[in-house]
Structure 1
């Protein structure tokens, strides 16, 4: 093989890898939809709210500083708390009810049931100083922002599966299209998280 032929083949392979066209198709049973979301579907936002909001995923015991016989109080809960929470809440995906194949949707961090749990662990070993009559409560907070958008990448139906005589009905061939933009999603997703003491009167 001459140098020109080798360079041409290498360039073609690079193009296939970069576009995702090298991914093989699959035969799916009981699917007739024109497109299906999968593990490779990437969510991207087209709109988002200007402000974030606080989701208090856990609230601990309340401590109250006495109003008698003290100038102030220093309170330290002194324990470790591990909480489970959803990375995204109020998620709505594909109102046209496109099926989903796989474990989770990238970026959104949700599985086929539109939920993925995460954990947050905090050692409340630091304290807070409060005035008489005030209360302190350890809390864990997830800061969220509402976003909406679409998905890029989908399994696209291109024909029927051929298995010769006696081919079972309901089997269709799907090819992966990494550039296909379909469906829609919306929800409040995690922006950041932190732990602190809620001080109030």
Structure 2
């Protein structure tokens, strides 16, 4: 029985089990596949090619419970000491999308490979202080934790390329076919994007009451 790639660009579990790879031959056999390129999870690189000119603020914590308000009338200003001890978990990049286009993928969905930074990872941001806050009449304030992000995007690079001069088969009962693939680090295809961290800081949000 021949095994084919599913249309959703991911190989089925049975097709994955049929892969034949040896270090001596430095290639892989994808039975039934006739496409020129096959991307490989964990091996196909993520290359950055573009970035937005502007950044945006992602407020990962809003300290509503530390809010300070000052009435509009009857006072010159309001002063209060605020103690903050807050640790917030956040992701280094958010809103990631991966689109290999028409290229099939083996091993699962493509992700971040070969990029510097904390792509796909989780971190913590801790804020600790005792501070006297002075608020003008008719205004309120509360503390915030902010991650400054920038949109970045790019393409994928590297895939197994079909060798038209070599045949292979995974078992005796199956005729050989032109299904042998060798790694090629050059091809670029598809696209990806995400919003990565540029920096982070603590601040206060001011609002009218």
Normalising by structure 2, we get a TM-score of 0.63
Q: Aligned residue pairs: how many?
A: 175
Partner of residue 154, structure 1: 159
Partner of residue 5, structure 1: none
Matched, 1:190 2:194: no
2:90 to 84, 88, 96: 84
Question: Is 2:141–2:205's contact at 8 Å kept on the other side of the alignment?
Answer: yes
How far is 1:63 from its partner?
1.0
| Structure with higher helix content | 1
Task: Provide the C-alpha distance between the structure 1 equivalents of 2:30 and 2:132, rounded to a whole number of angstroms.
Answer: 58
Task: Provide the C-alpha distance between the structure 2 equivalents of 1:79 and 1:184, rounded to a whole number of angstroms.
Answer: 41
How far is 1:153 from its partner?
2.0
Residue deviations 1:65-118, cap 9 Å, x none? 3335574424434222222336131524234364253684223866xxxxx351
Cα distance change, pair 162–144 in 1 and its aligned pair in 2 (3 A):
same
Matched, 1:174 2:186: no
1:124 to 114, 122, 128: 128
Question: Is 2:168–2:176's contact at 8 Å kept on the other side of the alignment?
Answer: no
Task: Provide the C-alpha distance between the structure 2 equivalents of 1:70 and 1:138, rounded to a whole number of angstroms.
Answer: 22
Cα distance change, pair 192–169 in 1 and its aligned pair in 2 (3 A):
farther
Cα RMSD after superposing both structures? 3.7
SS in 1 for 2:54: coil
How far is 1:188 from its partner?
2.5
Extract unaligned runs of 5+ from structure 1: 1-21, 111-115
Matched, 1:60 2:63: yes
Extract unaligned runs of 5+ from structure 2: 1-23
How far is 1:54 from its partner?
1.1
SS in 2 for 1:105: coil
Partner of residue 39, structure 1: 42
Question: Is 1:77–1:138's contact at 8 Å kept on the other side of the alignment?
Answer: no
